[in-house]
Amino acid sequence: MQVPTGGIAHEPKGTNRWNSDADSKVWMEEASLKKLWMPWIPGLFLFLRGFCMDGKEKYMALALSLAERGRGWTSPNPMVGAVIVKDGRIIGEGWHEKYGEKHAERNALDSATESVEGATMYVTLEPCSHYGKQPPCTDAIIEARLKKVVVGSGDPNPLVNGRGFEILKNHGIEVEYGVLEGECKALNKHFFHYITNKKPYVSLKYAMTVDGKSATEEGVSKWITGEEARRDAHFLRHSHMAIMVGINTVRLDDPVLTCHDPALRDPVRIVVDSNLDIPLSSKLVESAREVPLLIATVSNDEEKRGKLESSGCKVLSIPSSGGKVDVVRLTGEIGKMGIDSILVEGGGTLSWSFVENGLVDHVYAYIAPTLLGGRNALTPLMGKGFPSPDDGLFLENTSIKALGRDYLLEGDVKCSQG
C-alpha cells in the first residue's frame, strides 16, 4: 500500500493581480470570504492586519496568507508563500500548492505580469538550494535577476539551512531575513518539528462536555459537539498527514475517520490494535482500498493479518510494552514512513499512553456546554493519571474560540519529549 503525501488542490491557482490597497481588498473578498469557516482564517486576519504594518511586514503578511492555501496539501513539505514587488507594485504571487509540484517562488515568478528584473521577492521560508522533486528555487531567483529577497524564516532542513541565503548573496542578490519570523515559523510547526526531531508532530484532539465526559455511561458519544465544531475538527484531519485511534474507538463507534468533504485531503488512518481484533466488516477495513489504513499490532495471528492485507490494509508489527503496542516505537516507525504529523483522536486509553510517554505536542479540546454525569462515563484521558496536579501536563500559548454553541480550547504542551 502506498501512503499518499498529496492531493488535488482545493483552491485554484490565483490569477488576480493588484497594484494598490484597494485592489488587494477586492482580492480578499473574491478569494477568501467564501471559506471563512476554515481554520486558516487567522492567516487572513494577519493579512488584514497588514494594512497597519510597514511595507515589508505587509507584503510578508500577504505571503503568509497565500502559504495557508497549501495547508494539508504540501505535507511533508512546508507551506510557503511568495510575493514579488516592483516599484511599489505587486506584480506576482504564488504558493506551494501541492507536494511534488512547483514551489512558491517559481509559481510567483510564473505569475508575474511584467519583467521581474530588479524586483524584490517576499517569501515566508528560505528558498531551497537542492534538487528534490523540484529544482532549486535559488536557481530560478538568480536567473530572474531579482534584486532582493526578503525572507521570513530560515529552513532547518539540513539540505538548506543557510545555504539558500549564501548562494543568493554570492550572486549579488541582497537578502534580508526575519520579517514576521515568529508568524512564519508558527505556520510550519509540523514541518519544523519533523525535520528537526525526525519524528511526527503529535496533536491530541478530543471532544467533551463541561463536566469532562466524552460519552455517556452507555458509551454513546454521537454527538457531544455540534455541527460547526465537527466541521472544524474535520479540517484538523485535513491539516494532519495521519489520524490515529485505538481499537476500543473502532468497536464503539465504527468510524471511517475521513474529512467528510471531497474538497479536503483525507489523512492516512492508523488503528492501534494490539491483539488484531479489528472486525473485517468495520468501515475502516471496508474502505482501506480508497483511503490508506495502517494497523499497528503485537499479534502474531498470521491468518487475520493475511485477511486484512487482502482487504487493502497495511499491518505494522510493533514491539510490545506491557503486552500492548509500544507507542514510542510506533511513533518512530510512522516518522520513517515520511508522515510528519499525527492527530490522535482517542479513545481515552490511547490518549493517555501518548500523554504518559511525553509524545503530545499540542492539544485541541472541543468543549460542549452540556452536562452528562455518570460515575463510569468515559473521559478524554483514562489510564492511571498523574499523582498530583503539579505533575500534570501543562499547556501554554493557549487560545479559545467559539464554534457555534461549542468552544475550542487549544495550546502547546509546555514540556514534551523531543
- Distance from first CA to last CA of the chain, Å, rounded? 29
Quick check: is 105 catalytic?
yes
Rounded Cα distance, 264 and 231, in Å: 11
Which of 57, 54, 59, 100 shows the shortest CA–CA distance to 77? 100
Residue 362's beta-bridge partner residues? Answer: 203, 412
Rounded Cα distance, 180 and 52, in Å: 14
Angle at 78 between CA 75 and CA 79, to 5 degrees: 100
Residue 144 DSSP SS3: coil
Residue 220 makes CB contacts below 8 A (sequence gap 6+) with none
Residue 395's beta-bridge partner residues? Answer: 413
Residue with cell 452507555: 218
Residue 214 DSSP SS3: coil
Q: What is the DSSP letter of 68?
A: G
Q: What is the DSSP letter of 388?
A: S
| CB contact at 8 A, 354 and 347 | no
Residue with cell 507507542: 327
Q: Which of 68, 105, 126, 345 is catalytic?
A: 105
Which of 274, 355, 361 shows the shortest CA–CA distance to 321? 274
Strands (E), 256-313: 268-272, 293-297
Q: Which residues are catalytic?
A: 105
